Amino acid sequence: MPDRILLTGGTGFFGRRIADSLRAQGHTVVTPGRPDFNLMDAASTLRTLEQVKPDTVVHSAAHYGGLGICVAEPIQIFQRNVVMGVNLLDAASKVGVKKFMTIGSACSYAGAVNGDMKESDAWSGPLHPSVEAYGFTKKVMEVGMRAYQRGCNMIGQMPIVTNLYGEHDVFGEYRSHVAAALIKKFADAVIEKKKQVVCWGTGAPVREFIYVGDAADGVARLLASGHAEPLNMGTGIGTTIKELSEIVARLTRFEGEIVWDTTKPDGVMRKVLDVSKMQEVLDWRPPTSLEAGLAKTVKWYMENKAEADARN
């Protein structure tokens, strides 16, 4: 049955695609924004939920970004995300919301997991220091949703999403993740006719990437299910940073040399989700290959470069 859904962050990179996927399923999706809807203010949050009267809340808004912002703003990342999440949980419980979904992150996994990361590894050890502030806010929300489920029967759901990429991403250096950062780096090199592009580390670390449209469809599928435990959401396919760089270079038509600055850190050597439970619960796998998704992203970026570069 179609729901009335309040979606936070509904105009952002991931949120706009979640809104599309939910509307395609027949749901009514409301995406309030500032200044009328301020998640940092408990009264504003409650007032908006009283006006919207949602059956379901999907919390996609977040203060986050790539490694640059995670290192530079740990206090803001921790404080804003916890306050926003707690205000929204409490307001949702007061207006009778039946289901509450928080978008989770692979950053919430322990920094040293042997093999691909399973849902059962979630509390297996400390988080990597570089993403600890952001990753732990997702753990706060996981515990918070369980508390509200026990206290007022509000069902909680959390897709643990791997690295996203796609159209409308943030490409500026400060907040971008690796795929968007590489697209900008190689596109700029082509425009400036550079002979070399320098990338950090050895290129050996393995990461996992999911196209934003696929991840949004996965969120909609999870919402329609009765699954109320955190669920990994990704492709389960590892790609080295070297392989990713070579694909992006080819798609942007960069014909120069890729130089690896091995004085820069590699970070965790492998970070890939085990998605066997996702495939079982949702009977689904993300359909877009990395090369096809990156091709869409590069095309959009080149057609909207000035606008994309201005977003930080």
Alpha-carbon Rg of the chain, whole angstroms?
A: 19
Active site residues: 134
Query: 119 to each of 57, 70, 140, 276, how far by Cα in Å?
Result: 23, 24, 16, 10
Q: In the chain, what is the straight-line distance between the N-terminal and C-terminal CA atoms, in Å?
A: 38
Evaluate whether 30 touches 80 at the Cβ level (below 8 Å).
Answer: no
The set of residues, in sequence order, having a beta carbon less than 8 Å from that of 34 and lying 6+ positions away, is none
Evaluate whether 204 touches 241 at the Cβ level (below 8 Å).
Answer: yes
